[in-house]
Amino acid sequence: MDILSIIIIGIGLAMDCFAVSISKGVCLKKIKFKKAFRMAFLFGLFQGIMPLISYFGGRTFADLISAFDHWIAFVLLGLIGVKMFIEGLNPIDPHCETASNPFKWKTLIALALATSIDAMATGIVFVPFPDKIWIAVIIIGTISFIFAFAGLYIGLKFGKKIKFNVSIIGGIILITIGIKILLEHLLFY
């Protein structure tokens, strides 16, 4: 797996963070840098750690799955991509829950966990590429951090005008990467 594929996977996975951050930014009148950084940091941390967890779990079974790991990657990325695409068909809700504070630690951790569940499944994709897992963790976490941080500010400035949920793009990206992995293995191995 090349670095460009990892970056594209990172972008696809970060779309959940981006969409949630935009929806939280829409509800704010202003954003304090410290709170925005906290949210983005937690999103990036969880997005980076989750693939690592499933990677190490998958390494345990690497010998058993090596003959069909490309199919596992294709199915997992395809399912996650379809799920994100379907979720993305719901437009971002410009109406806010004023009772909840999106920057409370409990809320942030719940949001970071919820947006990173999909990322956990992608760790299995890296089992055949053990030399790429640490760079993948860093890239996925960094991209998610950047997208979450930017999403808050975009939501604040333009959120009420956004009619398109970016999770659709993330879903398409992950489906495409799954197809790419499958085709590379079937055609070149």
How buried is residue 44: exposed, middle or buried, by Cβ count under 10 Å (0-12/13-18/19+)?
buried
Is residue 93 helix, strand or coil? coil
Neighbours of 126 (CB within 10 A): 26
Distance CA 19, CA 139 (A): 19
Question: What is the token pair recorded at 139?
Answer: 């890239």
Q: Is the pLDDT of residue 28 over 70?
A: yes
Average pLDDT on 115-142 reads 88
Residues 6+ apart with CB under 8 A from 167: 15, 16, 19, 84, 85, 87, 88
**Which pLDDT does position 99 carry in this prediction?**
47
Highest-pLDDT range among 72-76, 111-115, 129-133: 129-133
Q: Is the pLDDT of residue 186 over 90?
A: no
Q: Which residue has the higher pLDDT, 155 or 150?
A: 150
**Which pLDDT does position 144 carry in this prediction?**
96
Average pLDDT on 4-18 reads 89
Unique residue bearing structure tokens 């990172």:
10
Distance CA 105, CA 164 (A): 28
Count of domains for the chain = 1
How is residue 19 annotated by DSSP? H
Instruction: Look over the chain and give the mean of its residue pLDDT values, rounded to a whole number.
Output: 82
Boundaries of domain holding 37 = 3-92+99-188
State the pLDDT confidence band at 81, using cuts at 50, 70 and 90: confident
**Which pLDDT does position 95 carry in this prediction?**
55
**Which pLDDT does position 123 carry in this prediction?**
85
**Which pLDDT does position 166 carry in this prediction?**
66
**Which pLDDT does position 131 carry in this prediction?**
93
Distance CA 64, CA 57 (A): 13
State the pLDDT confidence band at 51, using cuts at 50, 70 and 90: very high
Highest-pLDDT range among 27-31, 66-70, 159-163: 27-31
Q: Is the pLDDT of residue 33 over 70?
A: yes
**Which pLDDT does position 72 carry in this prediction?**
78
Residue 82 sits in a domain whose CATH number is 1.20.1250
Q: Which residue has the higher pLDDT, 7 or 171?
A: 7
Is residue 31 helix, strand or coil? coil
Distance CA 76, CA 118 (A): 9
At 166, phi and psi to the nearest 5?
A: -70, -10
Model pTM score: 0.74
